[in-house]
Structure formats: structure tokens, C-alpha cells
């Protein structure tokens, strides 16, 4: 064993599948001076990797999980530590059959071979399945079984050979040392890792500690929000028909999705695993040490009462299991996060401290590559991972209370049928907005955006359905988490006006002598505009892909305001702090909970707002894009006399004239009441996010960060490049210039669905869940970078009269009028390209009227 070092460039903590693959990938990327520490023995230190079932079902509806799963499966294949066993998801219910059709659609999107099977065809492949209780199956031949421990060993050895990585097993981390005080950007710097073998100073420290990660993060006074949760598994055997294969795995893995169970052959035995039992969570401190554990630390004592129902259901599906002996059964621990996604990336409050956690074996090598690239290039190259970025979490999401509640609720979703718009039941209304009581009085249907609640529609507007003759959608799935009221609100806004609660906007200000210069460095577009002007601009990463897309406002000479969406707030705040000059020339302030925003739009918006102020609200007096400080008299029609100060921002994300009105948080209720009083005879309605985020936006073809805009695309492709490039330097400028030189290969376009009728004669409504866009032959469309054309957003355009989709297609297919197809629920529907602009009011006459 080499001498324990006192200094290293990178210390990776944890030698499970993630830590091992991470040092391997870092070595491949040229890193040196690596140290890997692990509290357990090698090759199986006793974490979750050691008891993993080690299979990969590559089809996932979520793009990050699907592509990184596939990436990981291929890495295992490349090392020859993988067998394609194939896998079948069986359905016991019609609802699950529908879900399997949805999986066929996702398989098509990601280019993964898959077939629907009749129950007889399932039996051909797995003769011991009871076909009487199943309706059919979804077969994927590239489902693979991997050797995660050996993969870890191989990757670790590669790091040792390539980068002289020092490995210290049986070495426990006792503390993480950071700078005492935060620097002006509000971050502390990691200094050292204290272990029972000694202290190592390090520039970069990565926590790859699986279920223990939050405890390790706490040593640096920060968080990796995950909790160890039990996944029960029983190994039963011996079973002759399995033993006779003389293989580790000779039959496809069966996922009995409706019982949340899987049956996976392991030589002569069958492993029956479950996500169907009650959620059983543990605090990391409850996990025994290697010495204290009867098996391994993460193989907790089996609690058979929790598994009995799964056993009965497993025997129902495979009678032979009943007489097999339960040789080994565990409450295996896995990591669960509040939103089911992993925790990757640099931890926002500690400079140099990284998280590579809440990663399962099925995505381990790919996610390790992501983190290695992130550390190397400042951004992952393999794929956009905003959904897994640890910076996404808000303060409210880091408490044990939140993590536990969500893990409890999310556990049974592991094999569940989860609608793309499905809302959480627990932990709602975490941030109290000024309007909640008013919105509840209007029977608002709240959708949660991370910790913020936004009315999606107001049930009090149900009368609009009669006015506009609107009906629910024909198919329950399409109608789920949706209401025709949202269409009524849309049409009313276009006819009269509506008020949209935009309190969830994340608002920051940068001030000080360096503020403008720093703002220029972040933004593609020019910030040096007149005070009172705004710019809408991409922020790029170092590779020239989108990091963000937001509005910046020149509030004063030395003060720039940033307004961004709630889903990107954490990531944008982190990005801003991370790149900030640390000399005190820029001060960062988060104003989100100080400033509230209401949107007022529609042809009657000027008439409504005109009753509150004497300002010239015409395009002349309040030009598009301007920010005007005003006083608003809220004493409309008998309301108490009250004058509030506000900023009127002439902008529209819905396609009609109007303003975002910014005022102090405390003024919100008075403003709300005044607007509704003033709009009483002008058809004003509280209007939900269904209009703001979907129907209004899609009719205008406005791009949304995280949907159309991802790091894999650049402003040229997104159609957001300005004619000229500013002189000032900014992050990603070089690759941006190069991209402009090369020209775009793909274009972001809007498409209309020409016929929504499915084979059963029902009208269907795509959801914007990565449905593949296909050419006229029904083939996938993939560009030279491997990016697939898929639906990034979808929704009905009431004023266009068609279902609208957005997505990227190659330039040659982007011409307006091009006929293409889209797959939804494993059926093909005809679509037509509208173009890169708006399907509704392409000349923007209504915006600027």
C-alpha cells in the first residue's frame, strides 16, 4: 500500500460503481493526482452496488435517464461485463397495456429495439409465466445484465494505470474541511478531507457515497438531498428449469409492473425484487458499519411481513416460485431523492465539492462520465443533465422532512404509471405567495413548480366552457391533469384579458461597479442598453450550448436585474455566483421573495391598467421591452385608497398585449384586488399556467428552457441568434462564433397535428413527453450529432384550432408545410411544419398594439 498522501488534486469518496467509474473517466480525461478513499473493503465495500440486481432496462420516458442508461449499458458492454438477457414488462391491466404502448413510443424515440408481445408470445420466451393473468408484454431484447462490481474494479484499475490513482480501502472519512467564511460570491472553498488514516488537502472533492452521501455532505455543512430507502429482494431456488440453462441468466428478466416486482434469474435461482412494499426509509446513521452488519451495511434485515403480498403475486405469475426455498432475502438500501432524479454536479454552496450520488447501477458509468466531463469542461458534454443537476434544489427541498415525505410518496412510483404532468401530494404550498387565499377562493387547481405553487387553471372559470363550448378530452390519459377550463381561459384572454400569477419568477439583482461588466460576461446579448430597457438573452456554457435563457433588466447604471423561471432558479443562481468576480465589485441579491409579479394580458389589458395609473400605456409611452417605474392607485371603485410603486414591464409570453407588473411582495394583494375591480366589466379572469406555459406560449412558438432549450443545442439552432454578435466577451463566445460560421444543422420548429384520430377512432393529444418525430416513412430523424427529433412541448392551440408541437428537425425538413409524422402511444399521426415562428399572429400585431 502506498503511503497515505497529505495532498491531492482530486479526492473521490466512495468506491461503488460511481466512484470507481468516476476515477476511471477522470483518468481518461487526463486528470492526475487522484485519490479514491472507501470506508469498506474492496471490491465490495458494502454499499448499494454490492447488492444490486445489476440489470438495465434501457427504455425510460425521461430523456436523461434513458440516454444515460443506454450510455451506461454500452460502457458495460465495451468492457465485456454485460450480457443481453432481454427483458419483458408484462401487463396485468389495460391501463398497463396502454403504458406499454407509451413505452414503445419512448423506445422508438431513443432508438431502442422493442416489441409488443401477446401473452402467448411472452410464454414462448418465458415458459413459466402464467399467461392467464397477463394481457401482454413489452419486450426489449437489449435489456442487459451487468457485473457492476467487476466493472468498478476494471475502471479503478484503469485509473491506477493511467493516472496513478491512489486507492485506500478501509479508510473512513471523518470530516470535510472548508474555508471558514464564504467569499463575496457566498460560497466556501473545500480544503481537505479528514480520514482515519490522515488528512488530505484537495482542490476537488467528490462525494460518491451512495446512501451515505447526505451524511458526508453534512460534514461540509451542506446537503445532498437523498435518503436510503429499502428495496426488498429475495433469492429463491434452486429451480430446475433455471439451473438447466447453465447460465447466470438464460431467460429474459420479467418485470411484473402492476405488482411493482421483477423476477430475474440468477443461475439456478430467481431473484424476486419489489418496489411494491410500503416505503421503508432509514436515516444514514441507522445503517450499520461493515463490522456491525450481519450481511453488508446496505443489506438490512429482511422484514418478511412487508414482502408477503409480493410473494403471493409472484407465485401467481410463476407458480414454480412457490416451492422454491428463500435462500437469501434482504431489505436492500437504495438512494431516493425528493424528485426521483439523481444528484450530480458541483454543490452550490461549496466551491470544489461535487456530488455524484443517487445514481443506481443501471446509470452509474454514464453518470460518472457526466460528472467527470463536468469537472473537466465546466459542463457535461455527453448530454444535458439539468434534471439531475444538484443545483436545481431550493432550500425547502433539502430538509429531511421534505426528502422523507417525497421518498415516501415516490417509492411506489418506481414501477408506477406516472403521468408527465403528475403532481405530488405531499409537501405542497412550501412557499406562501401573496395571492393564495384569493386563488383558493377561485378554486384554483395548483400545480407545483419545485417549491412554488402556480394555479394551472381556476375551477371558478368553469362557465367559460359553456361560453366557448368546450368539452373534456375523449381519452382519460389525455384528460388527466388537464381541464378544458384552461382553453376557456385562453380564449377569454384573447377576447378580453387575464391575470396570471408570476410570483414564482426567480428575481436576482447584481449591483456594484463590476455589475454591468459581469452581466455582459454571462449573456449572449448586449447588456449595455439604456437604463429601463430589458433584454431577452441566452446564457451559454463554455461549449456554446444553452445554460439558460432569461430576461435581464438594466435597472440602473450599476444594477442589473435577472428574471428567470422557477425550474431554473437554483441552477441560474449557482451559475451566477460561481462565475462572479470574487473581488467585491459585484454584489448578488436574491429578491425573489421581496418582489411579486402579476401578468396582465389581453386586448383589454390597457383599459384595465389605465384605471390604476395615468401613464401613457400605448406602444409609444410604454414600448415593447421597456421597464417603467409607476405609481398605481389601487383605490379602484371603493377599494381602500392605496398607492403602490411598481415597475411595468411591457412583454408578453402569451401573444397579447400587456405587462408583467413587478411590485413589493406586500403590495401584491392590493394590486390583485385593484386589477380585478378595474377589469370587472372588461372580462378579466384569473388565468392559469395552462395558458401562460402551454397554449399561449405554443401559439407564439416561444421556447422554454429545459424543453426546447438544452445544452445540446445552440442559439442558432433554437432560432434565438441575433443578426450581430456583441463586441464584449461572454461565456461560450468562441464556440458560438464557430457555430454561426458553420451554420445550423437543425431548426426548432412548431408543428401542427393534422389528424388526431387514433386507430380506435378517438381523438388523442400528445403531451410533450419526447414523442418521436418521424419522417414520411415512419423512420426516426437523427442529426449528425446523434440528436433525435422529438416533441419537446405539446398542447392545444385554441386560437389556431390545432394541436401544436415543438421540436428540432433538420433544416431540410424545417420548411413550412413539410409533412412529417409523430408517434404517440405507439400510433402514428400526421403533422405539418409551421416553421420557426409563431403559429398565431406571426406578425406580432397583437403584442404591440
Partner 1 sequence: MLLVVLEHERGELTEAAREALTFGRSLADKMDEGIEAALIGSDAEPCVNQAGEFGAEVVHTCTHELLSDYGPDAYGAVIAEMVAELEPAAVLACGSERGNEIMAQAAARLDAPFVANCVDITPGYPWSMTRVQWGGSLLEDSILDADVALFTCGLHAVAAQPDDGADASVEEFDAEFDESHCVTMVKDRTVQEAGVTLPTARVVCGGGRGVGSADGFAKLEELADLLNGRVGCSRAVTNLGWRPHSDQVGQTGTRIAPEIYIASGVSGAIQHWVGAMASKHILAINTDREANMVVKADWAVIADLHQVIPAITAEVQRRKG
Partner 2 sequence: MKILCCVKRVPAPGAKINVTADGSQVDAAHLGFTTSPHEECAVEGAVQLREQHGGEVTVLTVGPTEASEQLRYAASVGADHGVLIPDDGSAWDPQRTAAAIGDAIETLEAQNGSAFDLILFGNESADTGGFQVGIRVAYRLRRPIVNGIKGIEVSGDGTGAGTVTARREIDGGFEVYELPRPCVLGVKEGLNLPRYPTMKGRLNSKKLEIQSLDIDAAAGGQRRVRLHRPAEQVSETVILGEGPEAAVAVVDVLEELGVL
**Helix ranges (DSSP H) in 730-828:** 733-742
Q: Does 116 bind partner 1 (CB under 8 A)?
A: no
> C-beta of 211: minimal distance to partner 1 in Å?
16
Please select the residue that binds partner 1; options are 24, 50, 569, 769, rule is CB under 8 A: 50
Q: Does 322 bind partner 2 (CB under 8 A)?
A: yes
Q: Does 4 bind partner 1 (CB under 8 A)?
A: no
User: Nearest 5°: phi and psi at 421?
Assistant: -100, 10
> C-beta of 156: minimal distance to partner 2 in Å?
20
**Helix ranges (DSSP H) in 714-801:** 715-718, 733-742
**755-771 exposure pattern, b = at least 16 Cβ within 10 A, e = fewer:** ebebeeeeebbbbbbbb
Q: Does 449 bind partner 2 (CB under 8 A)?
A: no
Q: Among the candidate windows 35-43, 52-60, 496-504, 703-711, which touches partner 1 by CB under 8 A?
A: 35-43
Q: Does 278 bind partner 2 (CB under 8 A)?
A: no
Task: Classify residue 620 by burial, with Cβ atoms within 10 Å: 0-12, 13-18, 19+.
Answer: exposed
Please select the residue that binds partner 1; options are 6, 7, 32, 41, rule is CB under 8 A: 41
Are the beta carbons of 334 and 229 closer than 8 angstroms?
yes
Q: Does 267 bind partner 2 (CB under 8 A)?
A: no
Please select the residue that binds partner 1; options are 11, 21, 140, 167, rule is CB under 8 A: 167
Q: Does 289 bind partner 2 (CB under 8 A)?
A: yes
Q: Which does 79 bind (CB under 5 to 8 A by kind): partner 1, partner 2, none?
A: none
**Helix ranges (DSSP H) in 127-177:** 148-163
Please select the residue that binds partner 1; options are 19, 46, 136, 795, rule is CB under 8 A: 46
Q: Does 293 bind partner 1 (CB under 8 A)?
A: yes
Q: Which does 268 bind (CB under 5 to 8 A by kind): partner 2, partner 1, none?
A: partner 1
Q: Among the candidate windows 293-301, 445-453, 510-518, 519-527, which touches partner 1 by CB under 8 A?
A: 293-301
* Cell (9 digits) for 29: 480525461
User: Which residue matches cell numbers 435518503?
Assistant: 227
Q: Which does 167 bind (CB under 5 to 8 A by kind): partner 2, partner 1, none?
A: partner 1
Q: Among the candidate windows 36-44, 302-310, 484-492, 593-601, which touches partner 2 by CB under 8 A?
A: 302-310
Site string for partner 2, 13-42 (x = CB under 8 A): ------------------------------
Crossing angle of the two packed helices 17-28 and 364-377, in degrees rounded to 10: 40
Q: Does 312 bind partner 2 (CB under 8 A)?
A: yes
How far does CA 154 lie from the centroid of its chain? 31
Q: Does 154 bind partner 1 (CB under 8 A)?
A: no
Task: Classify residue 469 by burial, with Cβ atoms within 10 Å: 0-12, 13-18, 19+.
Answer: exposed
For the chain, the C-alpha Rg in angstroms (whole number) is 28
Rounded Cα distance between 766 and 67, Å, is 21
Comparing CB distances to partner 1, the nearer of 170 and 414 is 170
Q: Minimal CA–CA distance to 710: which of 497, 501, 567, 500?
A: 567
Q: Does 181 bind partner 2 (CB under 8 A)?
A: no
Please select the residue that binds partner 2; options are 211, 216, 227, 324, rule is CB under 8 A: 324
Would you tell me how many other CB atoms lie within 10 Å of the CB of residue 383? 22
Q: Does 776 bind partner 1 (CB under 8 A)?
A: no
> C-beta of 579: minimal distance to partner 1 in Å?
40
Rounded Cα distance between 311 and 259, Å, is 10
Please select the residue that binds partner 1; options are 120, 181, 294, 760, rule is CB under 8 A: 294
Site string for partner 2, 194-233 (x = CB under 8 A): ----------------------------------------
User: Which residue matches cell numbers 470574487?
Assistant: 582
Element (H, E) at 841: none
With a CB cutoff of 8 Å and minimum separation 6, the contacts of 734 are 544
State the greatest distance between any 2 C-alpha atoms of the chain, in Å, as a whole number: 87
Comparing CB distances to partner 1, the nearer of 128 and 328 is 328
User: Which residue matches cell numbers 456491525?
Assistant: 292
Number of residues that bind partner 1 (CB under 8 A): 26
Q: Which long-range contacts (CB under 8 A, 24 or more apart) does 613-616 make?
A: 615/648
Would you tell me how many other CB atoms lie within 10 Å of the CB of residue 791? 23
> C-beta of 765: minimal distance to partner 1 in Å?
48
Q: Does 327 bind partner 2 (CB under 8 A)?
A: yes
Q: Does 532 bind partner 1 (CB under 8 A)?
A: no
* Cell (9 digits) for 37: 478513499
Are the beta carbons of 190 and 352 closer than 8 angstroms?
yes
**SS3 of residue 554 by DSSP:** strand
> C-beta of 24: minimal distance to partner 1 in Å?
17
Q: Does 169 bind partner 1 (CB under 8 A)?
A: yes
Indicate the pairing of strand 136-140 with strand 115-117: antiparallel
> C-beta of 270: minimal distance to partner 2 in Å?
10
Q: Among the candidate windows 215-223, 294-302, 355-363, 673-681, which touches partner 1 by CB under 8 A?
A: 294-302
Q: Which does 90 bind (CB under 5 to 8 A by kind): partner 1, partner 2, none?
A: none
> C-beta of 125: minimal distance to partner 2 in Å?
23
Q: Does 639 bind partner 1 (CB under 8 A)?
A: no
Site string for partner 1, 237-276 (x = CB under 8 A): -x-------x-x-----------------xxx--------
Q: Does 3 bind partner 2 (CB under 8 A)?
A: no
Q: Which does 304 bind (CB under 5 to 8 A by kind): partner 2, partner 1, none?
A: partner 2
Q: How far is CA 494 from CA 488, 690, 841, in A?
A: 10, 14, 11
Site string for partner 2, 236-255 (x = CB under 8 A): x-------------------
With a CB cutoff of 8 Å and minimum separation 6, the contacts of 262 are 53, 55, 253, 254, 255, 256, 271, 272, 273
Which residues partner with 628 through β-bridges? 648
Rounded Cα distance between 36 and 12, Å, is 5
Q: Does 288 bind partner 2 (CB under 8 A)?
A: yes
Q: Does 97 bind partner 1 (CB under 8 A)?
A: no
Q: How far is CA 767 from CA 410, 465, 479, 752, in A?
A: 21, 21, 10, 13
**Helix ranges (DSSP H) in 567-701:** 569-579, 605-610, 668-678, 689, 696-700
Q: How far is CA 653 from CA 29, 304, 457, in A?
A: 42, 54, 17
**Length of the chain, in residues:** 849
Q: Which does 46 bind (CB under 5 to 8 A by kind): partner 1, partner 2, none?
A: partner 1
Q: Does 308 bind partner 2 (CB under 8 A)?
A: yes
> C-beta of 131: minimal distance to partner 2 in Å?
20
Rounded Cα distance between 551 and 652, Å, is 12
Please select the residue that binds partner 1; options are 29, 154, 295, 828, rule is CB under 8 A: 295
**Helix ranges (DSSP H) in 411-542:** 436-441, 463-467, 476-479, 485-495, 515-522
Q: Minimal CA–CA distance to 523: which of 354, 729, 333?
A: 729
Q: Does 357 bind partner 1 (CB under 8 A)?
A: no
> C-beta of 790: minimal distance to partner 1 in Å?
40
Rounded Cα distance between 516 and 497, Å, is 36
Q: Which does 763 bind (CB under 5 to 8 A by kind): partner 1, partner 2, none?
A: none
Please select the residue that binds partner 1; options are 14, 16, 39, 44, rule is CB under 8 A: 44
Site string for partner 1, 312-341 (x = CB under 8 A): ---------------xx-------------
Binding site for partner 1 (CB under 8 A): 1, 40-44, 46, 50, 167, 169-170, 235, 238, 246, 248, 266-268, 290, 293-296, 299, 327-328
Binding site for partner 2 (CB under 8 A): 234, 236, 282, 286-295, 300-302, 304, 308, 311-312, 314-315, 321-327
Amino acid at each position: 500500500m502506498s503511503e497515505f498522501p497529505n495532498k491531492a488534486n482530486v479526492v473521490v469518496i466512495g468506491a461503488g460503481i460511481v466512484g470507481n467509474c468516476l476515477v476511471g473517466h477522470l483518468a481518461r480525461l487526463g486528470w492526475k493526482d487522484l485519490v479514491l478513499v472507501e470506508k469498506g473493503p474492496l471490491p465490495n465495500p458494502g454499499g448499494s452496488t454490492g447488492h444490486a440486481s445489476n440489470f438495465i432496462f434501457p427504455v425510460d420516458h425521461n430523456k436523461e435517464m434513458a440516454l444515460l442508461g443506454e450510455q451506461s449499458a454500452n460502457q458495460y458492454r465495451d468492457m465485456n461485463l454485460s450480457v443481453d438477457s432481454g427483458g419483458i414488462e408484462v401487463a396485468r391491466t389495460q391501463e398497463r397495456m396502454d403504458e406499454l404502448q407509451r413505452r414503445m413510443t419512448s423506445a422508438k424515440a431513443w432508438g431502442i429495439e422493442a416489441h409488443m408481445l401477446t401473452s402467448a408470445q411472452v410464454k414462448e420466451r418465458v415458459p413459466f409465466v402464467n399467461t392467464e393473468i397477463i394481457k401482454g408484454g413489452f419486450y426489449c431484447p437489449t435489456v442487459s445484465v451487468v457485473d457492476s462490481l467487476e466493472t468498478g474494479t476494471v475502471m479503478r484499475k484503469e485509473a491506477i494505470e493511467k493516472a496513478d490513482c491512489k486507492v485506500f480501502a478501509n479508510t473512513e472519512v471523518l470530516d470535510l474541511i472548508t474555508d471558514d467564511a464564504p467569499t463575496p460570491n457566498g460560497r466556501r472553498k473545500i480544503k481537505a478531507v479528514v480520514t482515519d488514516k490522515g488528512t488530505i488537502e484537495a482542490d476537488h472533492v467528490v462525494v460518491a457515497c451512495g446512501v451515505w452521501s447526505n451524511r458526508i455532505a453534512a460534514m461540509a455543512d451542506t446537503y445532498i438531498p437523498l435518503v436510503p430507502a429499502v428495496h426488498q429482494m429475495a433469492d429463491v431456488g434452486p429451480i430446475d428449469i433455471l439451473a438447466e440453462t447453465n447460465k447466470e441468466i438464460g431467460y429474459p428478466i420479467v418485470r411484473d409492473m402492476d405488482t411493482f416486482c421483477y423476477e430475474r434469474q440468477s443461475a439456478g435461482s430467481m431473484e424476486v425484487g419489489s418496489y411494491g412494499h410500503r416505503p421503508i426509509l432509514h436515516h444514514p446513521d441507522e445503517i450499520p458499519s461493515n463490522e456491525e452488519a450481519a450481511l453488508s451495511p446496505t443489506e438490512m434485515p429482511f422484514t418478511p411481513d412487508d414482502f408477503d403480498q409480493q410473494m403471493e403475486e409472484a407465485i401467481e405469475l410463476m407458480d414454480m416460485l412457490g416451492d422454491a426455498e428463500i435462500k437469501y432475502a434482504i431489505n436492500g438500501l437504495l438512494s431516493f431523492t425528493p424528485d426521483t432524479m439523481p444528484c450530480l454536479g458541483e454543490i452550490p454552496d461549496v466551491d470544489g465539492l461535487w456530488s455524484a450520488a443517487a445514481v443506481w447501477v443501471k446509470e452509474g458509468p454514464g453518470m460518472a462520465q457526466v460528472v467527470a466531463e463536468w469537472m473537466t469542461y465546466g459542463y457535461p458534454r455527453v448530454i444535458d443533465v439539468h434534471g439531475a443537476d444538484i443545483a436545481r434544489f431550493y432550500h425547502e427541498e433539502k430538509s429531511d422532512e421534505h426528502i422523507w415525505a417525497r421518498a415516501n410518496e415516490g417509492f411506489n412510483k418506481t414501477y408506477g404509471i406516472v403521468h408527465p404532468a403528475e403532481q405530488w401530494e405531499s409537501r405542497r404550498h412550501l412557499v406562501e405567495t401573496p395571492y393564495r387565499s384569493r386563488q383558493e377562493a377561485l378554486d384554483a387547481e395548483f400545480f407545483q413548480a419545485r417549491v412554488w405553487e402556480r394555479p394551472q387553471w381556476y375551477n371558478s372559470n368553469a362557465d367559460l366552457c359553456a361560453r366557448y363550448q368546450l368539452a373534456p378530452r375523449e381519452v382519460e390519459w389525455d384528460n388527466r391533469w388537464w381541464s378544458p377550463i384552461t382553453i376557456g381561459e385562453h380564449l377569454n384572454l384573447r377576447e378580453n384579458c387575464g391575470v396570471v400569477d408570476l410570483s414564482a419568477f426567480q428575481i436576482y439583482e447584481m449591483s456594484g461597479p463590476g455589475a454591468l461588466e459581469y452581466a455582459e460576461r454571462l449573456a449572449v446579448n448586449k447588456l449595455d442598453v439604456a437604463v429601463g430597457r430589458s433584454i431577452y438573452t441566452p446564457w451559454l456554457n463554455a461549449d456554446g450550448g444553452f445554460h439558460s435563457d432569461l430576461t435581464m433588466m438594466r435597472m440602473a447604471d450599476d444594477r442589473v436585474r435577472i428574471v428567470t423561471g422557477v425550474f431554473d432558479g437554483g441552477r441560474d443562481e449557482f451559475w451566477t455566483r460561481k462565475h462572479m468576480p470574487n473581488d467585491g465589485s459585484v454584489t448578488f441579491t436574491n429578491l425573489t421573495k421581496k418582489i411579486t409579479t402579476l401578468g396582465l394580458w389581453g386586448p383589454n389589458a390597457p383599459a384595465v391598467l389605465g384605471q390604476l395609473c395615468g401613464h401613457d400605456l400605448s406602444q409609444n409611452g410604454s414600448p415593447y421591452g421597456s421597464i417603467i417605474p409607476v405609481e398605481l392607485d389601487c383605490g379602484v371603485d371603493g377599494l381602500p385608497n392605496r398607492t403602490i410603486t411598481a415597475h411595468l414591464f411591457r412583454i408578453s409570453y402569451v401573444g397579447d398585449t400587456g405587462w408583467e407588473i413587478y411590485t413589493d411582495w406586500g403590495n401584491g394583494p392590493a394590486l390583485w384586488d385593484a386589477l380585478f375591480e378595474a377589469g370587472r366589466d372588461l372580462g378579466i379572469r384569473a388565468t392559469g399556467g395552462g395558458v401562460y406555459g402551454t397554449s399561449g406560449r405554443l401559439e407564439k412558438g416561444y421556447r422554454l428552457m429545459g424543453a426546447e432549450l438544452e445544452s445540446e443545442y445552440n442559439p442558432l439552432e433554437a432560432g434565438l441568434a441575433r443578426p450581430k454578435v456583441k463586441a464584449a466577451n461572454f461565456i461560450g463566445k468562441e464556440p458560438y462564433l464557430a457555430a454561426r460560421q458553420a451554420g445550423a444543422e437543425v431548426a426548432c420548429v412548431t408543428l401542427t397535428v393534422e389528424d388526431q384520430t387514433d386507430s380506435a377512432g378517438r381523438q388523442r393529444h400528445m403531451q410533450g413527453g419526447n414523442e418521436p418525430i418521424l419522417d414520411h416513412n415512419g423512420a426516426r430523424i437523427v442529426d449528425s450529432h446523434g440528436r433525435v427529433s422529438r416533441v419537446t412541448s405539446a398542447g392545444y392551440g385554441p386560437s389556431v384550432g390545432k394541436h401544436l408541437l415543438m421540436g428540432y428537425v433538420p433544416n431540410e425538413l424545417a420548411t413550412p408545410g413539410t409533412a412529417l409524422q409523430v408517434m404517440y402511444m405507439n400510433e402514428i399521426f400526421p403533422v405539418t411544419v409551421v416553421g420557426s415562428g409563431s403559429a398565431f399572429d406571426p406578425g406580432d400585431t397583437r403584442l404591440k398594439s
